Chain A
Amino acid sequence: MTTAAVETARKPATMAQALGRALRDAMAEDPAVHVLGEDVGTLGGVFRITDGLAKEFGDHRCTDTPLAEAGILGTAVGMAMYGLRPVVEMQFDAFAYPAFEQLISHVSRMRNRTRGALPMPITVRVPYGGGIGGVEHHSDSSEAYYMATPGLHVVTPATVADAYGMLREAIASDDPVVFLEPKRLYWSKADWSADRPEPVAPIGRAVVRRPATGQGSPVSLITYGPSLPVCMEAAEAARAEGWDLEVVDLRSLVPFDDETVCASVRRTGRALVVHESPGFGGPGGEIAARITERCFHHLEAPVLRVAGFDIPYPPPMVERHHLPGVDRVLDAVARLQWESEWTEGSAD
């Protein structure tokens, strides 16, 4: 096939479609892949990610379970012990909390406890984050909890191509992967070919989505998941101010790609971490510390964070005040221009 023909095969697809396709292809390729969760069968999941799977593969491969998250993940552990590859859907971020006990006490450490004898090839899909007008318990960003648990991979795609590629890789992984799906981006579209999905960087690798141009005052925006589009927009807007923003999409929080992040920060000399989960005790603190430890002499200013407030996720009518938006990112970029009022302010 010529390049042109492949190009024409690409057409607009949503992240939700790409995720569904990844599940379908994984199930078609490997009969050990089983999907289980609440409403994943007949309904196709509340976000329709699993639409059609029960019909195509039978409800013993795509199973509507009883309503019990610890039970769903706990039975997945047993299935994995017997050689299956369960893909578990948690309906919403905050409803994964009942399953934490299984996740932390068993899923994350079974391999280690048994010295490699019982790997846990489980993928836990968690739609996460806000911005969709959800009522309480439908918008949490729980990545810090997962990151704090050794033995789990924690990943989050931000593009349609990554959604497909990373989910396929997660399912194929012999280790448990917490697969965080930015639900705000479920309906974001990109040109993509389901029949010829483009290869993406492996889990564990960050990707520079927008390189600095060399024109203006450079800053690295380190971000992931739902905040990627915010940072991309901010980078465009920043050009007018004479700022040259490089946007790094982490994609994987565990393992963490120090190399790509630090290479960017060394180029730009300034770093801003952007995420929507609460800042205190959040991923940004870890990332800022890692950058400081590795790039201190390259830094022109302290590493800053733009994060959600340290509050339980607010009601939908005020969530826009909580979520880090373009303005908040640009304000922080302004503060990173260190020489000016920031130094004077901090001298008091």
Chain B
Amino acid sequence: MTVLEQPGAYRPTPPPAWRPRLDPAPLLPDPEPVRLLGTPAAADLDPGLLTRLYRELVRGRRYNAQATALTKQGRLAVYPSSTGQEACQVAAAMVLEERDWLFPSYRDTLAAVVRGLDPAQALTLLRGDWHNGYDPREYRVAPLCTPLATQLPHAVGLAHAARLKGDDVVALAMVGDGGTSEGDFHEALNFAAVWQAPVVFLVQNNGFAISVPLAKQTAAPSLAHKAVGYGMPGRLVDGNDAAAVHQVLGEAVRRAREGGGPTLVEAVTYRLDAHTNADDATRYRAEEELTAWRAHDPIDLMEAELKGRDLIDEDGMAAAREAAEDMARALRDRMNDDPVLEPMELFEHVYAEKTGQLREQAAQLRAELDAESQEGER
């Protein structure tokens, strides 16, 4: 059996030859992160796009708040919030076409939801009832990944395979600033550049890897600068400016789709919540820093732009908040159901067919469960 949907139809085509570029200048990021909101350049932005981004930002903020609340009620084992980083999450999901793939890290549940996942399904891993609550092929969203940066080579391999197949599919892979120190990050970037794979790497530089600040993570001028050494462009963008992230990622996706190869995008942002609900952020960061970043909130930036251009009124904002409330309510309802787990499923999906060892162990558990239920009846 082959896992290819149409094995007969597959004729791998060699990717075009690639020659090293000797001039690094076009690969270098601009020293200042790209910003659009609040600048004259914003006048050219599509109003429809801006309002869509705004609605998703508002919904995303509510989603983060609701998920965090669910940890307090014991409905969710853990939640790594992306509050403050919603612009990156929303833009990452919105630049992709349906046939593209998203490779999220554990913090990127919101991106997966914006991509179309049921909010409750996206939380399965974090709830603890199964490792992955959705079919990755259905949504073109890889399983949320907890080992840092290990999903990046997967994105490269998938994008490479898609191109061999002749599909114009792009993979967008998300990683944190801490994750850029891992070996897999470097191997993935290098493979992507050498293969000219249609991949976009999005680093959400939110200032910290749990407690460790960027200064202790890297001595590079910026994380985007790392791209140059691999032979791909690096782009630096204001990660709280949803329009700018959308534009920079959009360009990178377009370039990748047209055969121009990978891009590394660093979005400079800030995590306003703690690392997870279980973390005490006061131990490693100062209140002043938070205050400064609160003044640069992604929702406020977008709201100011929309109001300034008369693209939204009080009713429009209220409608966005209401849609967010609906999502939160539905999520709460879903998460209030006690998950029903089938213990015998432990032995499913380890291999395509159970080994003799697994069949024996399944029989043992079956017997234990039967004994338990008989005891329960007595």
Q: Please give the distance in Å from B124's CB to the nearest CB on chain A.
A: 10
Residues of B within 8 Å of A257, CB to CB, are 356
Q: Is B332 an interface residue when CB atoms closer than 8 A count as contact?
A: no
CB A262 to nearest CB in B, in angstroms, measures 11
Chain B 117-148, CB within 8 Å of chain A: the 1/0 string?
Answer: 00000000000001110011110001100010
Q: A78 interface residue, CB < 8 Å from B?
A: yes
Answer whether residue A173 sits at the interface, using C-beta atoms and an 8 A cutoff. yes
Q: Are B136 and A30 in contact, with the CB atoms below 8 A?
A: no
Q: Please tell me which stretch of B55-63, B181-189, B217-225, B323-331 contacts chain A, meaning at least 4 of its Cβ atoms lie within 8 angstroms of it.
A: B181-189
Q: Is the CB of B10 within 8 A of A74?
A: no
Number of contact residues on B: which range applies? 35 or more
Q: Is A65 an interface residue (CB 8 A)?
A: yes
Q: Is B352 an interface residue (CB 8 A)?
A: yes
The docked-state distance in angstroms from the alpha carbon of A185 to that of B171 is 42
Chain A neighbourhood of B186, CB < 8 A: 68
A106 touches B150 (CB 8 A): yes
Choose from A81, A111, A118 the contact partner of B157 (Cβ within 8 Å). Answer: A81
Contact B161 A78 (CB under 8 A): yes
For the complex, give the distance between the alpha carbons of A32 and B4 in Å.
Answer: 8
Q: Is A174 an interface residue (CB 8 A)?
A: yes
Chain A, 101-142, CB within 8 A of any chain B CB = 101-102, 105-106, 109-119, 121
* Bound-complex Cα distance A176 to B285 (A): 44
**Nearest-CB residue, chain B, relative to A105:** B147
Verify if B41 is at the interface (C-beta below 8 Å from A): no
Least CB distance from A171 to B in Å reads: 11
A-side contacts of B348, CB under 8 Å: 115-116
**A118 is contacted by which of B10, B137, B147 (Cβ under 8 Å)?**
B137
Interface residue from B3, B15, B162, B171 paired with A60 (Cβ < 8 Å): B15
The answer to whether A85 touches B2 (Cβ under 8 A) is yes
B178 contacts A by Cβ under 8 Å = no
Q: Using an 8 Å CB-CB cutoff, how does the interface string of A260-281 with B read, 1 for contact, 0 for none?
A: 0000000000000000000000
- In the complex where A77-B157, A78-B155, A78-B156 touch, is A101 in contact with B147 (Cβ < 8 A)? yes
Q: Which residues of chain A in 27-77 are interfacial with respect to chain B, using CB atoms and an 8 Å cutoff?
A: 30-32, 34, 58-61, 65-66, 68, 70-71, 73-77
Q: From A102, which residue of chain B is reached at the shortest CB distance? A: B150
The answer to whether A78 touches B11, judged by C-beta atoms less than 8 angstroms apart, is no
Q: A70-B153, A83-B4 are in contact. Are A114 and B135 (CB under 8 A)?
A: yes
Q: State the Cβ distance, A283 to closest chain B Cβ, in Å.
A: 14
Tell whether B355 is near chain A: CB-to-CB under 8 Å: yes
Is residue B350 contacting chain A, with contact meaning CB distance below 8 A? yes
In the complex the two chains form, what is the Cα distance from A70 to B194 in whole Å? Answer: 16
A273 to B164, CA, bound (A): 46
Is B7 in contact with A32, judged by CB distance below 8 angstroms?
yes
Q: In the assembled complex, which residues on chain A have CB atoms less than 8 Å from the CB atom of B135?
A: 114, 117
A21 at interface (Cβ–Cβ under 8 A)? no
Whether A98 and B352, one on each chain, are in contact in the complex, defined by CB atoms closer than 8 angstroms, is no
Residues of A within 8 A of B350 (CB): 111-112, 150-151
By beta carbon, the residue of chain B nearest A258 is: B356
> How many angstroms between the C-alpha atoms of A85 and B164 in the bound complex?
13
A17 to B132 Cα, complex, angstroms: 42
B373 within 8 A of A: no
Among B10, B142, B352, B357, point to the contact of A174 (Cβ < 8 A): B352
Given contacts A34-B12, A60-B15, A75-B191, is CB(A70)–CB(B184) below 8 Å? Answer: yes
Contact partners of A81 in chain B: CB under 8 A: 136, 142, 154, 157-158, 161
Judged by a CB distance under 8 angstroms, whether B165 is at the interface is yes
Q: Is B159 part of the binding interface, using a Cβ–Cβ cutoff of 8 Å?
A: yes
CB proximity to B under 8 Å, residues A149-167: 150-151, 153
Q: List the A side residues contacting B152 at CB < 8 Å.
A: 74
Question: B13 near A: Cβ within 8 Å?
Answer: yes
Cβ–Cβ < 8 Å partners of B165 in chain A: 82-83
Q: A74-B157, A84-B161 are in contact. Are A115 and B184 (CB under 8 A)?
A: no
A153 near B150 with CB under 8 A, answer: no
- Structural contact, B132 and A115, CB atoms closer than 8 A: yes
B292 at the interface (CB under 8 A from A): no
Distance of A175 Cα from B356 Cα, bound (Å): 16
Please report the C-alpha to C-alpha distance between residue A276 and residue B153 in the assembled complex, in whole angstroms: 34
Task: Give the distance in Å from the alpha carbon of A256 to the alpha carbon of B358 in the complex.
Answer: 11
Is B372 in contact with chain A by the CB < 8 A criterion?
A: no
Establish whether residues A255 and B357, one from each chain, have CB atoms under 8 Å apart when the complex forms: yes
> Which residue of B has the minimal Cβ distance to A112?
B349
A residues within 8 Å of B by Cβ? 30-32, 34, 58-61, 65-66, 68, 70-71, 73-86, 98, 101-102, 105-106, 109-119, 121, 150-151, 153, 173-175, 204, 254-259
8 A-B residue pairs with CB within 8 Å: A31-B12, A60-B13, A74-B156, A78-B158, A83-B161, A84-B4, A111-B349, A258-B356
**8 new A-B contacts at CB < 8 Å, known A84-B161, A259-B356:** A31-B7, A71-B184, A75-B156, A81-B158, A83-B3, A98-B183, A101-B184, A113-B132
